[in-house]
Amino acid sequence: MAEEEVKILGAWPSPFVMRPRIALNLKGVKYEFLEEVLGEKSELLLKSNPVYKKIPVMIHKGKTVSESMIIVEYIDEAWADGKPAILPADPYDRAVARFWAVYIDDKIFPSMKAILMAQTDEAKTEAGSQASTSLQLLEEAFKTCSKGQGFFSGETIGSLDIALGSCLGWIRATEKMTGVDLLTVEKTPLLAAWAERFCADEAVKEVMPETDRLVEVAKMLQAKWKASA
């Protein structure tokens, strides 16, 4: 499939927007990044994703694809020739990767939001404990999925690496803002080492947000959450 007319509609702080951008970088596909203003929805976004009205959206040759991990799978299939596969080839391994990707969205992001929204030390401790438990389970999943290699998918970055790796910037920002240790050598040594490898990859470097910039975004979100509470 031709590598032309590829656009990603999103915002730089979004971990979900990071996912298709990393996938395209892994495949060596050039694309245009159309930046959305945080807190607003452009006409293009509303037209491109009329059901959920959310980023990210991929536009390829005028056709739109929505939902971050669905876009990642589309990229893997659309640019399969001569490029490393993002999803595992084995059907069972592929199902396992999809399972844990859903787990990450269900557990990791809500836990970090709960930490940032906590109004008491007790609430923050409870939310931090839940996040740590989720990461411990992912530590065990890494042991199984990686089969002793550097990434969840083996020797190279795959779909599950992208799913969890997109959280790393926000994990670091949450740790810095709240003092809650989440991903550490002491608690999750395998994931801590994996995180270093993931962030050092050329496909990831250019799209991984700086921690301090995310902290500023998180402060704005905290103020918004408190105002709406």
Residue 159 has pLDDT above 80, yes or no: yes
Residue 1 has pLDDT above 70, yes or no: no
Task: Name the residue with higher pLDDT: 163 or 83.
Answer: 163
Kindly state whether residues 65 and 105 are assigned to the same domain.
no
Kindly state whether residues 95 and 73 are assigned to the same domain.
no
Kindly state whether residues 207 and 99 are assigned to the same domain.
yes
Q: Containing domain of residue 214, as a range?
A: 91-228
**CA pair distance 30, 219, nearest whole angstrom:** 33
pLDDT tens-digit readout, 127-145: 999 999 999 999 999 999 9
Question: Of 21, 43, 78, which closes a domain?
Answer: 78
**85 within some domain:** no
Q: How confident is the model at residue 173 (pLDDT cuts 50, 70, 90)?
A: very high
**CA pair distance 16, 109, nearest whole angstrom:** 11
Angle at 212 between CA 218 and CA 52, to 5 degrees: 40
**Bond prior to 209 in cis (omega within 30° of 0):** no
Kindly state whether residues 73 and 95 are assigned to the same domain.
no
**105 within some domain:** yes
Kindly state whether residues 101 and 37 are assigned to the same domain.
no
Instruction: Please tell me the predicted confidence (pLDDT) of residue 199.
Output: 98
Kindly state whether residues 43 and 124 are assigned to the same domain.
no
pLDDT tens-digit readout, 15-68: 999 999 999 999 999 999 999 998 899 999 999 999 999 999 999 999 999 999
**CA pair distance 85, 57, nearest whole angstrom:** 21
Least confident of 44-48, 167-171, 203-207, 224-228: 224-228
Instruction: Please tell me the predicted confidence (pLDDT) of residue 2.
Output: 44
Number of folded domains in the chain? 2
| Mean per-residue pLDDT of the chain | 95
Least confident of 18-27, 95-104, 111-120: 111-120
Question: Of 52, 78, 104, which closes a domain?
Answer: 78
Kindly state whether residues 104 and 213 are assigned to the same domain.
yes
Residue 3 has pLDDT above 90, yes or no: no
Is the pTM higher than 0.85? Answer: yes
